[in-house]
Amino acid sequence: MRAMKKYLSLLLIFILLIYVNGCKEKSTEPEKINETQVLLEYLEGTDGGYINSASCPAIINASEVYTYLQNNPSKIYIIDVRDSSTFVNKGHIRGAHRVDIPKVLDHIKTLNTSNYEKIVIVCYAGQSAGYVTGLLRLMGYNNVFSLKYGMSSWHQVFAEGYWLANIGNSRKTQFTTTPTPKNQPENLPVLNTGKKTGPEILEVRVKELLAGGWDPARISHSGVFTNLSSYYIVNYWPVDDYNMGHIPGAVQYTPRSDLKSTTYLKTLPTNKPIVVYCYTGQTSAQVVAFLRVLGYDAKSLIYGTNAMIYDDMPGVKFNQQTDIMNYEYVTGP
């Protein structure tokens, strides 16, 4: 009997040790969080966030940049994200700082950004700059703007291989007025940065996207029309313009309204690429920056409908006579 009691006591101690150790192991496991939800709540804040604000898209005209350079040059800072050869040999805005896209955030952090009223991101046609601007705006740099139409608006020589070469009407007969409904809501994409707070998750995501450059975030209309069913196509226009004609299968999302967690953001799919298009590609580039930060495989349709139905389209058109300013530029480093 005494041996049995001793055995039971030892068994009880053994069971307690297993339980205690199990509790310790459980308590040391990292807390699981829904990173995408945390990030989205941080980005939206209390008013829907940048992408749904009146300040989106953050775009500045060449004429305003020129006026700053003439009258108040200390209040403007220009970052040119084109390749080094083009910047040096073809030319750039006097005083511009050339920075590779993967290094833009690090460069911005070296500045006292409050010293400048405008920090202007410059590219070839305004679209990669729009993407970078969108990412920086999400990071809270509220004085960052994309140069509208890029260097194509600064001088004719820069427009020739970009805007002037990409305006067209080749999809005129392929647009439709048949509407396509939005998807049913589904889960957000899954992020795994290992961070816990909105600002931490955001910085990791922005650095990852900048490191990848602009190419993964862009697509041409020929790329889309090759296989329309492979993409979930977002028409980022007011509904009246959508009803005038749109890419077959495109789904209408109202700007600054429909890409909120409280409206239709979650109708975007996570199992296929999303193509966002607008009139010029300037706005869609900034919208795509937001979606890619959240983990969507989103792509901006470059040059928008200017490249597809220029003569018949609503909205903003690139106008060679009024949008190319032919301002002075310089060559060399």
Measure CA of the first residue to CA of the last residue in the chain; give whole Å: 94
Q: How confident is the model at residue 177 (pLDDT cuts 50, 70, 90)?
A: very high
Q: Give the model's pLDDT for residue 27.
A: 46
Over range 229-255, report the average pLDDT: 98
| Number of residues written out for the chain | 333
Q: How confident is the model at residue 20 (pLDDT cuts 50, 70, 90)?
A: very low
- 50-166: CATH, from 2.30.30.90, 3.40.250.10, 3.90.1150.10, 2.140.10.30: 3.40.250.10
d(CA 50, CA 116): 20
Backbone torsions φ then ψ of 55, nearest 5 degrees: -85, -5
Least-confidence region, from 20-24, 221-225, 308-312: 20-24
Q: What is the mean pLDDT of the chain?
A: 93
Which strands, in side-by-side order, build the sheet including 274-277?
A: 218-219, 298-301, 274-277, 232-235, 251-252
Least-confidence region, from 39-53, 174-188, 263-277, 279-293: 39-53
Asked if residue 333 has a cis previous peptide bond (ω within 30° of 0), the answer is no
Least-confidence region, from 5-9, 140-144, 181-185: 5-9
Q: Give the model's pLDDT for residue 274.
A: 98
Q: Give the model's pLDDT for residue 219.
A: 98
Sequence-distant (≥ 6) Cβ neighbours of residue 114 within 8 angstroms? none
pLDDT digits (tens, 9 = 90+) for 263-288: 999 999 999 999 999 999 999 999 99
Q: How confident is the model at residue 318 (pLDDT cuts 50, 70, 90)?
A: very high
Over range 111-123, report the average pLDDT: 98
pLDDT digits (tens, 9 = 90+) for 192-234: 999 999 999 999 999 999 999 999 999 999 999 999 999 999 9
User: Which residue's entry shows tokens 């647009």?
Assistant: 175
Q: Do domains 50-166 and 198-307 have the same CATH topology?
A: yes
Residue 48 clears pLDDT 80, i.e. is over it:
yes
Q: Give the model's pLDDT for residue 2.
A: 52
Q: Give the model's pLDDT for residue 15.
A: 57
Q: Where do the domains of the chain lie? A: 50-166, 198-307
Q: Give the model's pLDDT for residue 81.
A: 98
SS3 145: strand
Q: Give the model's pLDDT for residue 9.
A: 54
Over range 98-120, report the average pLDDT: 98
Residue 18 clears pLDDT 60, i.e. is over it:
no
SS3 295: coil
What is the value of pTM for the model shown?
0.91
Over range 67-93, report the average pLDDT: 98
CATH code reported for the domain at 198-307 = 3.40.250.10
